[in-house]
Amino acid sequence: MYLAAEAWPDLESYFESESLAIVPLGSTEQHGPHLPEGTDHLIAEGFARETASRTGYLCTPTINVGVSPHHRQFPGTMWVDPPVFRDYVESFSRNLAYHGIDRIVYVNAHGGNVQHLREVGRRLHEDEVAFAVEWMWDESIPELVDDVFEQNGPHGGPKETALIQYLESDLVHEDRLEDARDGGVPDIEAAETTKFGARTFYDAVDNSDNGVFGDQTDATAEKGERLFEAATDQLVQLCDWLDGQDIEELLPEPRV
Tens of pLDDT along 43-56?
999 999 999 999 99
> Is the domain covering 3-250 a CATH 3.40.50.10310 domain?
yes
Give me the pLDDT at residue 84, please. Answer: 98
Overall average pLDDT of the 81-101 stretch: 98
Lowest mean pLDDT among 77-91, 160-174, 185-199: 185-199
The C-alpha atoms of residue 68 and residue 94 are separated, in whole angstroms, by 24
70-98 burial code (b ≥16 CB/10 A, e <16): bbeebeebbbbebeebbeebbebbbebbe
pLDDT at 160: 98
CA-nearest of 20, 65, 24 to 47 is 24
Q: Could you tell me the pLDDT band of residue 153, with boundaries at 50, 70 and 90?
A: confident
Q: What is the mean pLDDT of residues 1-22?
A: 97
DSSP lists the bridge partners of residue 136 as: 108
How many Å apart are CA 79 and CA 19, to the nearest integer? 31
Q: What pLDDT is stored for residue 227 in this prediction? A: 98
Which pLDDT does position 152 carry in this prediction? Answer: 85
Contact (Cβ atoms closer than 8 angstroms) between residue 3 and residue 58: yes
- Pick the range with the lowest mean pLDDT from 80-89, 147-156, 166-175: 147-156
pTM: 0.96
pLDDT (average), residues 175-192: 93
Q: What is the pLDDT of residue 151?
A: 85
- Considering just the CA atoms, what is the radius of gyration of the chain in Å? 19
pLDDT over 90 at 170, yes or no: yes
Nearest to 117 by CA among 109, 106, 126: 106
**pLDDT score at 53:** 98
pLDDT of residue 209: 95
